[in-house]
Amino acid sequence: MAKPVMCIVLTQIVLVALFHLCMSSQTKECTSTSSLSPQFYDNSCPKAQAIVQSFVAKAHSNDPRMAASLLRLHFHDCFVNGCDGSLLLDNSGTIESEKRAVTNVDSARGFEVIDDIKSALEDECPQTVSCADILALVARDTTVITGGPSWEVYLGRRDAREASLIASNNNIPVVSSTFETIVTKFNDQGLGLIDLVALLGGHTIGNSRCKSFRKRLYNHSGNSDRDQTLNQNYASMLQQGCPISGDDQNLFALDYMTPNKFDNYYFKNLMTFKGLLSSDEILYTKSRDSMELVKLYGANEELFFEQYAKSMVKMGNISPLTGRNGEIRRICRRVNH
């Protein structure tokens, strides 16, 4: 009986070694933060980060769901022409808002919190802190306040003067995306498989609507069947609140074990086939490489936190507007006039 135990231990050692080898071999290009700097506002708006933290704390206290909603905004902003605050722009005569995209309409929320933060920052240091940087800071602070890792947020992004509804619909994976599609969409942003698995670990907090996973419960392959990669007891539990029709908006935790705590239970759930969304469970069922990462993060929360922080910094550096490009919006919902 000792031999299988030894194999398991050796496997974990090899996985950790490979993880650190891969991390150390990342190119400078992948980890570069260009002209961004954690000290960007130290002189021009020294209270900026404290102001953002205070509003995040208040929003989370008022509504624990808000943490995941605010975190999601940064993802959905960065995947569309870079981290430039374009997601925050409302519809206007010249702008088709990204808020109307398939992945955002009736689900993206927290815009009022961003408005309040921006208003406070404008009072403190007018036209200095960008809306894009607010999203980056908020993503870090919501992670920390729910128990996750912290990291230095590189700052100095400027705000876009335009949005792209088309790119928003094309660039962001949806719950029905295949594993290959998700990998491609992350690769298109300069994010590799390690980044993908770690960043999807952000689904350790947050909720999804019944309509987003109903097909897994009742008609997965078009033959009135359940998804066989979904734990059947878990599926029966979900069916109690997500009937075959109706109740589309009923909410379910992405991590049913610790729904409001940022931890590694997301990965543990995938390993027992209790990932709520198909686009999550396929990390464990469709690729040996991603499966090994799921196992690694499920067994070692510290490694998950370490990589999540690195990948968040990397994602936050996707095509930022700097220098004279873009602008510093006075109001995040509209361009300056």
pLDDT digits (tens, 9 = 90+) for 303-319: 999 999 999 999 999 99
How many helices (DSSP H) and strands (DSSP E) are in the chain?
A: 15, 2
- Distance of alpha carbon 43 from its chain centroid, rounded? 30
Give the pLDDT band of residue 215 (cuts 50, 70, 90).
very high
Strand, coil or helix: 96:
coil
Asked if 70 and 56 count as a contact pair (C-beta separation under 8 A), the reply is: yes
Q: Is 258 annotated as a binding residue?
A: yes
Q: Is 116 annotated as a binding residue?
A: no
Give the pLDDT band of residue 220 (cuts 50, 70, 90).
confident
Q: Is 173 annotated as a binding residue?
A: yes
For the cut 80, the answer to whether the pLDDT of residue 25 exceeds it is: no
For 113, list phi and psi in degrees, rounded to 5.
Answer: -65, -45
**What pLDDT was estimated at residue 222?**
81
For the cut 50, the answer to whether the pLDDT of residue 30 exceeds it is: no
Indicate the domain borders of the chain. Answer: 45-205+253-314
Asked if 254 and 205 count as a contact pair (C-beta separation under 8 A), the reply is: yes
Cα-trace Rg, the chain: 20
E-strand stretches of the chain: 207-209, 251-253
For the cut 60, the answer to whether the pLDDT of residue 268 exceeds it is: yes
Q: Rounded mean pLDDT of 36-47?
A: 98
The catalytic residue positions are 76
Q: Is 98 annotated as a binding residue?
A: yes
Q: Counting Cβ atoms within 10 Å, is residue 39 exposed (0-12), middle (13-18) or buried (19+)?
A: exposed
> Rounded to two decimals, what is the model's pTM?
0.90
Q: Write the pLDDT tens digit of every residue in 144-203.
A: 999 999 999 999 999 999 999 999 999 999 999 999 999 999 999 999 999 999 999 999
Average pLDDT of the chain? 92
Residues 6+ away with beta carbon under 8 Å from 294:
197, 267, 270, 271, 283, 284
Asked if 185 and 171 count as a contact pair (C-beta separation under 8 A), the reply is: yes
Q: Is 63 annotated as a binding residue?
A: no
Q: Is 84 annotated as a binding residue?
A: yes
For the cut 80, the answer to whether the pLDDT of residue 7 exceeds it is: no
**What pLDDT was estimated at residue 184?**
98
Nearest to 332 by CA among 151, 113, 37, 26: 113
Q: Write the pLDDT tens digit of every residue in 62-102.
A: 999 999 999 999 999 999 999 999 999 999 999 999 999 99
| CATH architecture, domain 45-205+253-314 | Orthogonal Bundle (1.10)
Task: Determine the Cα–Cα distance for residues 283 and 271; give it in Å rounded to an integer.
Answer: 10
Q: Rounded mean pLDDT of 291-314?
A: 98
